[in-house]
């Protein structure tokens, strides 16, 4: 049984449905959980109707039922639901749980994740290419693997045994509801000694598509990342989960969109919602446009130098 968790508000319901259906196109026996924040009745009905077409059910919980006594200092674009993945131990009875951000599309089987040996792993995910300076700035040690929390495979048996939800809550409270790097930093802090590393095709992020592996190393100067070029090249050409993060490309529910794998999202969206002209008009930011122009026209060493100057060698 493949068990998958999403957490979102009304704004990401359509993206969540597309992501769920992408899983069902490549996997059978899937159980869905969703933690919502102030979900409208219309959103709940859309979710249930979409799953009914595929003979599936979805278990919906309210964020207040997951972490009712936890104060969060939420600001900017991050909703409270980003923390829900850390507090599922009393809700999920299965031994493993795959968490996916709503801005993801699955293009293949997830079976190998659920047969993975996680006896010593609390959580497994894809590495972020952070430098030692970035890690030190946020309280992480040099050489520590650091995971992106947008796609995570949880060992729920070990998570419950080690009472990690309580540890997460304590960490958040110790930082007055605003821990360094938010939910991602919390997860990497409490799981530091029991982290598993997934191959990058399970979380294909924009930087992997824009830059070659050696360019990623020059730009971000990671102190713990994938060895050699083959893992990133494989992810670029044969992704299993594409993560449409808000960087380097416009996301596929916006127009215009130049993301190389936008068809994975749009083919499902158009079939499910039968609306081929429903994409929101949103121009790519000037910052992204400038980055792409400079990347295209400048010799890469000069582009990398300019990147480092701008980001203070982070």
pLDDT at 314 over 70: no
3-class secondary-structure state, position 181: coil
Neighbours of 148 (CB within 10 A): 21
pLDDT at 105 over 80: yes
Q: Token pair of 156, please? A: 């729920």
Instruction: Indicate the fold that domain 2-283 takes in CATH.
Output: Spore Coat Polysaccharide Biosynthesis Protein SpsA; Chain A (3.90.550)
pLDDT at 125 over 90: yes
Q: Where are the beta strands (DSSP E) in the chain?
A: 2-8, 30-36, 58-62, 96-100, 104-106, 123-127, 147-155, 195-197, 241-243, 254-255, 280-281
**Are 79 and 9 within 8 A, CB to CB?**
yes
34 DSSP β-pair partners: 6, 60
**Are 314 and 133 within 8 A, CB to CB?**
yes
**What pLDDT shows up at residue 277?**
60
Of 37, 139, 125, nearest to 78 (Cα)? 37
* % of residues, the chain, pLDDT over 90: 83
**pLDDT-based confidence at 313, cuts 50/70/90?**
very low
100 DSSP β-pair partners: 151
Sequence spans of domains, the chain: 2-283, 285-314
DSSP assignment letter at 223: S
């Amino acid at each position: 049984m493949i068990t998958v968790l999403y957490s979102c508000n009304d704004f990401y319901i359509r993206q969540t449905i597309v992501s769920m259906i992408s899983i069902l196109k490549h996997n059978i026996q899937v159980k869905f959980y969703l933690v919502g924040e102030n979900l409208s009745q219309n959103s709940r009905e859309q979710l249930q109707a979409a799953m009914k077409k595929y003979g599936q059910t979805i278990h919906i919980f309210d964020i207040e039922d997951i972490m009712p006594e936890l104060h969060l200092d939420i600001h900017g674009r991050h909703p409270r639901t980003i923390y829900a993945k850390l507090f599922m131990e009393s809700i999920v009875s299965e031994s493993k749980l795959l968490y996916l951000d709503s801005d993801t599309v699955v293009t293949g089987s997830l079976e190998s994740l659920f047969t993975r040996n996680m006896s010593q792993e609390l959580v497994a995910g894809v590495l972020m290419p952070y430098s030692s300076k970035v890690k030190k700035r946020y309280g992480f040690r040099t050489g520590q693997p650091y995971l992106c929390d947008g796609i995570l495979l949880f060992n729920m048996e070990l998570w419950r045994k080690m009472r990690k939800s309580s540890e997460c809550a304590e960490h958040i409270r110790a930082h007055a509801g605003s821990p360094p790097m938010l939910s991602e930093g919390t997860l990497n802090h409490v799981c530091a000694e029991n982290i598993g590393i997934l191959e990058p095709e399970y979380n294909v992020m924009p930087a992997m598509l824009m830059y070659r592996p050696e360019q990623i190393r020059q730009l971000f100067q990671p102190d713990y990342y994938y060895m050699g070029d083959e893992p990133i090249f494989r992810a670029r050409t044969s992704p299993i989960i594409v993560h449409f993060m808000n960087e380097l490309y416009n996301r596929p529910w916006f127009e215009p969109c130049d993301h190389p794998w936008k068809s994975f999202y749009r083919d499902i969206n158009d079939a499910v919602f039968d609306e081929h002209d429903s994409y929101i008009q949103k121009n790519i930011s000037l910052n992204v446009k400038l980055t792409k122009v400079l990347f295209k026209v400048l010799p890469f060493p000069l582009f990398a130098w300019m990147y480092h100057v701008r980001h203070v060698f982070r």
